[in-house]
Chains A and B, each alone.
Chain A
Amino acid sequence: MISKKKSDLLLVDHNHDGVDRRGFLKCMAWAGTGALCVMQGGVLKSFSLSRPSEIDPAAAAGELRFVQISDSHMGFNKPANPDVTATLKVAVDKIRALPSVPEFLLHTGDISHLSKPEEFDAVDQILKDTGKEVFYVPGEHDVVNDDGQQFRDRYGKGSPGAGWRSFDKSGVHFIGLVNVMNLKAGGLGTLGAEQLKWLEKDLQSHSKSTPIVVFAHIPLWSVYPEWGWGTDDAAQALSYLKGFGSVTVLNGHIHQIMQKVEGNITFHTAASTAFPQPAPGTADSPGPMKVPAEQLRKVLGITDVQFVRGKDALAVVDSNLA
């Protein structure tokens, strides 16, 4: 049934359609307006988050479920969103209201706006309400002034470098990468030789059938280099991931939802919980995009990720905060 309610941003309900990958990418074009696309082993299903009771519990069940949030920019207070604390709290409420409880959270960076201790503290406090463990990677806003020292002390303990690390959950291998350190003039995000060496070694101890989730702040594919939306040496990192059956890359930084499938890798960027940014090339610069107040929550969001053993790919569902 096609919903025409003003508050319901889903244009067409694809439930039980079995839309294939071409349909998946088409559906992604609507993600910014609030349509949910869930990919399970190459078959697409979509649901409206404005009607969560209509989400089939069987489709929402799985062996591993986690949430990605990103770009909370705690400390930002300009017109694009004068209250980023409130919108982050709405994200937490949404997480707590999900039909199936996620096991943990991934935060893909720009936790703070100016790397201030009180900004990091505020986010820690707010996310505590989810009752879940949170794994962080830094954004460029998290490493200003101190070369990432605070980030390392708070969230990167045990990391051999600037905060990169890996861990396993229910047979899925997670890799947090840091691509916001030592940025060069005129350049994009960068991983650096030391981290790449570590990554190559880290992957060698896992079989090709292990599902991999890589999370990093700046996109690991070239979304829009003119605005710095890409990573200089990502190609080398991605080459180490060849041959793995299921690879999902989760990024933030661009404050909008985008997805791309390339070979065995699905790339996904998350919306910010703070403010949206313009689509590539649609504005002079990638600054905070002001939208009418009543629409703000519709362009902010959280990402709910589901792993179902036996399926090729992770199902990634975005929900807006409205």
Chain B
Amino acid sequence: MKGITRISLLSVSLVTGLSGFSAKANTPRAEAQAAPAMVAVKIDNFSFGPQSISISAGTKVTWTNRDDIPHTVVSTEGVFKSHVLDTDESFSFTFDKPGTYPYFCSVHPKMTGQVVVK
């Protein structure tokens, strides 16, 4: 019993030690992960919401169509282009390069939005 206890204590301290070690090692990464890696844009009522978003490079943006009419997400500069999205369908794109990316719905071109990547 004593032997087991000693081993248990040893395991606990080892685990604690390891956790402590890994926590220290993870700190820089933890700070980077504080910023969301995924942003959602809702398509509804013939509009993109939010109409303009600001994100960090490397963030993935997911557009989901909640309207009862199909829409598309098309970059005006040809950077990305979704297939037609029926209700509840989604399209995602990860923005790696900083810049401003205006886009629109190619079916209803009055619907416009933009993604600003820092």
CA distance A186 to B104 in the complex (A): 8
CA distance A208 to B51 in the complex (A): 49
Q: Is the CB of B106 within 8 A of A183?
A: yes
Known: A114-B86, A285-B47, A287-B46. A144 touches B106 (CB 8 A): yes
> What sequence of 0s and 1s flags, for each residue 218-257 of chain A, a beta carbon within 8 Å of any chain B beta carbon?
0000000011100000000000000000000000000000
A26 close to chain B: CB less than 8 A: no
> Can you name 30 A-B pairs with beta carbons within 8 Å?
A114-B70, A114-B84, A140-B106, A141-B107, A144-B72, A144-B83, A144-B84, A144-B106, A145-B83, A145-B84, A183-B106, A183-B107, A183-B109, A184-B109, A185-B76, A185-B102, A186-B104, A186-B110, A186-B112, A187-B109, A188-B109, A226-B110, A227-B46, A227-B110, A228-B108, A228-B109, A228-B110, A284-B45, A287-B45, A287-B69
Specify which chain B residues have a CB less than 8 angstroms from the CB of A140 in the assembled complex: 106-108
Name the CB-closest residue of B to A139. Answer: B107
Q: Is the CB of A185 within 8 A of B109?
A: yes
Q: Is the CB of A185 within 8 A of B104?
A: yes
Name the CB-closest residue of A to B113. Answer: A185
> What sequence of 0s and 1s flags, for each residue 185-209 of chain A, a beta carbon within 8 Å of any chain B beta carbon?
1111000000000000000000000
Q: Is the CB of A113 within 8 A of B46?
A: no
> What sequence of 0s and 1s flags, for each residue 56-92 of chain A, a beta carbon within 8 Å of any chain B beta carbon?
0000000000000000000000111000000000000
Top 5 closest pairs, chain A to chain B, by CB: A185-B104, A285-B46, A144-B84, A183-B109, A78-B68
CA distance A286 to B111 in the complex (A): 12
A280 close to chain B: CB less than 8 A: no
Name the CB-closest residue of B to A184. Answer: B109
CA distance A284 to B72 in the complex (A): 19
Name the CB-closest residue of B to A78. Answer: B68
Majority SS at the chain B contact face: loop
8 A Cβ contacts from B19-55 to A: 45-47
Specify which chain A residues have a CB less than 8 angstroms from the CB of B56 in the assembled complex: none
B95 close to chain A: CB less than 8 A: no
Specify which chain B residues have a CB less than 8 angstroms from the CB of A108 in the assembled complex: none
B103 close to chain A: CB less than 8 A: yes
Contact-residue bracket for chain B: 20 to 34
Name the CB-closest residue of A to B71. Answer: A144
**A interface residues (Cβ-Cβ under 8 A, vs B):** 78-80, 113-115, 140-141, 144-145, 183-188, 226-228, 284-288
B59 close to chain A: CB less than 8 A: no
Specify which chain B residues have a CB less than 8 angstroms from the CB of A144 in the assembled complex: 70, 72, 83-84, 106-107
> What sequence of 0s and 1s flags, for each residue 3-31 of chain B, a beta carbon within 8 Å of any chain A beta carbon?
00000000000000000000000000000
Specify which chain B residues have a CB less than 8 angstroms from the CB of A284 in the assembled complex: 45-46
Q: Is the CB of B47 within 8 A of A185?
A: no
> What sequence of 0s and 1s flags, for each residue 74-90 of chain B, a beta carbon within 8 Å of any chain A beta carbon?
00100000011011000
Specify which chain B residues have a CB less than 8 angstroms from the CB of A79 in the assembled complex: 68
CB distance from B48 to the nearest CB of A (A): 12
CA distance A150 to B72 in the complex (A): 18
Interface centre among A140, A185, A226, A285 (most CB of B within 10 A): A185
- Which residue from A114, A183, A226, A288 sits with its C-beta under 8 Å from B68? A288
Name the CB-closest residue of A to B44. Answer: A285
Specify which chain A residues have a CB less than 8 angstroms from the CB of B86 in the assembled complex: 114
- Which residue from B67, B72, B103, B110 sits with its C-beta under 8 Å from A287? B67
